[in-house]
Amino acid sequence: MNVATAFSALATVVWLIFVGLIVLAVVRSARGQKTGAVSTSILVVGITGLVLTTLSAGLVFIQPEERGVVISAVAPGGYREQALQPGLNWILPFLENVVRYDISQKTYTMSIAPSEGAIPGDDSILARSSDGQEVAIDASVIFSVDPEKVVQIHIEWQERYTDELVRPVARGVIRDAIAQYRVEEVYSTKRAEMTEQIREAMSEKLAENGLILSDFVLRNITFSPEFAASVEQKQIAEQLAQQAIFVVEQRKQEAEQARQVAQGQADAAVIQSQGQAEARIIQADAEAQALQVIATSVANNPDLLQYLYIVKINPAIQVMLLPNNAPFLFPLPTIGPPAPSELNLDLLPTPTPLPAPTATP
């Protein structure tokens, strides 16, 4: 309870006492009793009531979220130019009174939902885009009274600024903004840009009339049933196209994977062929070296071929008898030849096996 309220309550109590004393004085007078003391009390209480009433009428306490416009019978123009600030203030009793204005933020909502808007029922904003499509807009305007322009608000709008200023300004600005965009831009690509344009235009118009726009919220955009159906069909078509692109991309990835597998197999076959070819080259080189060793051995031992032939016929043969009239298969040795009909194989040196050629990698 503030001081002004306390004085007002106390003045009320004093006036009740004053009335009670008057009744008591009337009763005593009717009974023929003395009323001098009662009359004195009535006078004192009456004066006290007047003082308290005057004080309660002159003291005004303004809450922090309020500003007070003083309507004055003595000030030029009928009002004080400066609004009362929060706290305890003094005005001229019975010559001035205060109109309080709430400067805290307020939200005014216009919605298609019956229970969400400031006005029951469908209160959405119908507008047409630049290509002639009708849309319904749900929006909220968050605003407050400019503390420095409370007096202006009182003179121009009083308490009507919400219904007669905020509402028509918001609806008009929204319609003007939507008329500059195509319907696709309204709900998709240019929505943020359009919202910012509405916010700037509305802020300027409200500021001219003593209000501060805190925020503008574009809550929802509703289209006609026909356009909503066409938008849905378009979205379905776009989703199908995206799915087809995804399938094509998947097939490409599968084809690329198969190509890489085939390339890997081809590379492996090439590597295997190269390895086999190199192995053959190594084997051929080894065989050539072996043949070279054999050729060298034959060149150094002319009788080696004869011996190897005989061994090939029968490795265990030691002596071969031939008829006298049969020609010799091989020329006879030049040193100490045996009898014409006998060839002693022990005279030939025992062949030593040749080392197997080694292939160099």
Q: Cα separations (Å) of 243 from 233, 235, 256, 292?
A: 15, 12, 20, 72
Q: Choose the most confident range, by mean pLDDT, from 208-217, 288-297, 313-322.
A: 208-217
- Locus of tokens 């209160």: 123
Query: What does the pLDDT look like over 44-87, one tens digit per residue?
Result: 988 998 998 888 888 899 999 999 999 998 888 899 999 999 99
CB 222 within 8 A of CB 136: yes
Q: Give the pLDDT score at 307.
A: 66
Is the pLDDT score of 133 beyond 60? yes
Q: Using CA atoms, how far apart are residues 326 and 323, in angstroms rounded to an integer? A: 5
Locate 350 and state its tokens: 């025992």
CA gap 285, 283 in Å, rounded:
5
Q: In whole angstroms, give the CA distance from residue 146 to residue 328.
A: 142
- Per-residue pLDDT tens digits for 105-121: 999 999 988 888 888 88
Residue range 239-248: mean pLDDT, rounded:
82
Mean pLDDT of the residues in the chain: 82
The residue ranking higher by pLDDT, 356 or 76, is: 76
Domain locations in the chain as residue ranges: 3-102, 106-223, 226-300, 302-361
Among 355, 339, 359, 335, residue whose Cα is nearest residue 347: 335
CATH 3.30.70.260, domain 106-223, yes or no: no
